[in-house]
Structures are given as structure tokens and as C-alpha cells.
A = this chain, B = another copy of it.
Amino acid sequence: MNETIKNILSHRSIRRFKDEPIEQETVETLIQCAQAASTSSYQQVYSIIGIEEQSIKDKLAELAGNQTYVSQNGYFFVFCLDYHRHQLMAQIAGQNVDDTIKSKEGFMVGMIDVALAAQNVAVAAESLGLGIVYIGGIRNNLPEVSELLRCPDHVVPLFGMAVGHPDASPGLKPRLPQAAVFHKNQYVEDEKALPVLKEFELQSAEYYRERTGGARDEGWATQMARVMSQPKRTYMKEFIESKGLDKQ
């Protein structure tokens, strides 16, 4: 197993950082890594906003549900789906690309492009001994986040990422068994999938029981059912459409 794979397999989210900023040179390298990721048809449908002003970090932390690690870290990135650049580009080229930008397919391309770029940043940062945590919480209040960062139409902040020197060393969180997520040739039948999930329910409950000295013993299914029984961020459809995206 090489260093890269060892590094990928030892990922854990870091939620406490030393009070030590990331050097600008490192930030630039991380952005280079982001840009090196594959991008659908060369479109590069993303912008990355590096938050360096503490007051903006603090405001973001508040909007993301008072997560301290959004304001206290070595660096904070916001990854945005960005078709505004393609509007400027269309001006330069004298073309109209509106129908692509507002399509479901265009929205999907953008989501994928952003996430591929972000994961390169995560892997690269961790390879340097830094810790990272994705912040989906900025989607709690996207209209406010979007305004704070002055994102124009066709630009949607999708998630943040705090990066920094780790000041915590959490354990690895067990994932679903490989048999639950990896199928051969065709999607697995329910009769084969169910026993795997039921077994993992017992295992994951045991994992939590051991880690918490019995204080918590929710298995994965029970935990997910709790998290997912109420839909989150139900304003999202309206907001995305108000940005001129994912309309048709």
C-alpha cells in the first residue's frame, strides 16, 4: 500500500485545529490540486472562495449552525457551483448558453465538477499532514451565505471546508460493509442486501456501545432514520431556481 492510499484510508474529519494559519503557498498548491481534477467537457463549473477575513469566517460559522471550527481553523474554503463565468465567457464568444446553464443536466455537471475539485483539496491537504472537515452546514442558510460572499446569479455555494493543523485525533468511523455498496455487474437484489444491512446494524451499535461505555448504542440504520425522518433545508428547490439553475 503506497503513501497516497494509506493517507486516503486514514481520513477522519478534524473538528479542532491549532491556532496556526496555512501558508499562502500551500493554499495555492491546494487550489492547483482542485483544478487538476477531471471536469466535464472542460467546463470547470466551480469557483473557490478562500475566506481570510476573520469577520467573514465568524459570520459563516454562525450561519452554519455555530460550528466553532468554521471560524477557528488554518484556512476556510467555500466551494461554489459557478456558471456565472460561463455567462461572461458567452459574452466573449458572442453566444447564448442560457439553456445549458438552467438545465438539470447542467446543474448535475456543476455539482459533480465542484465535488471532484474539492476532494482533490481534501486528499492533498491530508497528504501534507493537515486535517479537513467538509461543512455542509453552510446550506442551512444559503441565501444569507450567498449574499455575504456576493455570489451573483448562477453561483451557489455548495459546501465549505475547514483546513488546518489538527488539534484532535479522532478514531476512524466505520463505513458500511463493502458488500453493501459495491455490486458486480448489476444492482444487488434486496434479498442479498438486507442481511448485510441487518448485520451492520448490530456491528455499528456495538461500535458505539464500546466507544461510549454503553451511553449510546444506535446502529447505522437507527441513526440514519433519526437524521433523515425530517427533511432538511426544504427551501432549497426554491433557492436553486431563484439562482437561475436547475429549472428545466
Which residues of A are in contact with B by a Cβ distance under 8 Å? 1-5, 7-11, 13, 28-29, 31-44, 46-53, 56, 80, 82, 84-86, 88-90, 92-97, 99-101, 103-106, 108-109, 111-112, 114-116, 118-120, 122-124, 127-128, 132-134, 136, 139, 148-152, 155, 158-159, 173, 175-176, 178, 180-188, 190, 193-194, 197-198, 201, 220-234, 236-237, 240, 246, 248
Give Cα distance in the complex from A31 to B220, angstroms: 20
Give Cα distance in the complex from A122 to B96, angstroms: 33
Cβ of A34: which chain B residues have Cβ within 8 Å of it?
Answer: 181
Return the contact of A184 from the options B29, B52, B184 (Cβ within 8 A): B52
Return the contact of A221 from the options B92, B99, B175 (Cβ within 8 A): B92
Give Cα distance in the complex from A49 to B133, angstroms: 27
Chain B residue at minimal CB-CB distance from A5: B124
Give Cα distance in the complex from A116 to B113, angstroms: 10
Chain B residue at minimal CB-CB distance from A110: B111
Instruction: Tell me the minimal C-beta distance from A125 to chain B in angstroms.
Output: 10
Inter-subunit contact B178/A89 (CB<8 Å): no
Chain B residue at minimal CB-CB distance from A176: B44
Instruction: Tell me the minimal C-beta distance from A129 to chain B in angstroms.
Output: 10
Cβ of A84: which chain B residues have Cβ within 8 Å of it?
Answer: 187
The verdict on A46 contacting B181 (CB below 8 Å), with A90-B225, A139-B105 known, is yes
Inter-subunit contact B175/A36 (CB<8 Å): yes
Inter-subunit contact B231/A103 (CB<8 Å): yes
Q: Can you show 8 pairs from A to B with CB atoms below 8 A apart?
A: A4-B123, A42-B173, A50-B182, A85-B180, A92-B194, A95-B226, A109-B136, A116-B118
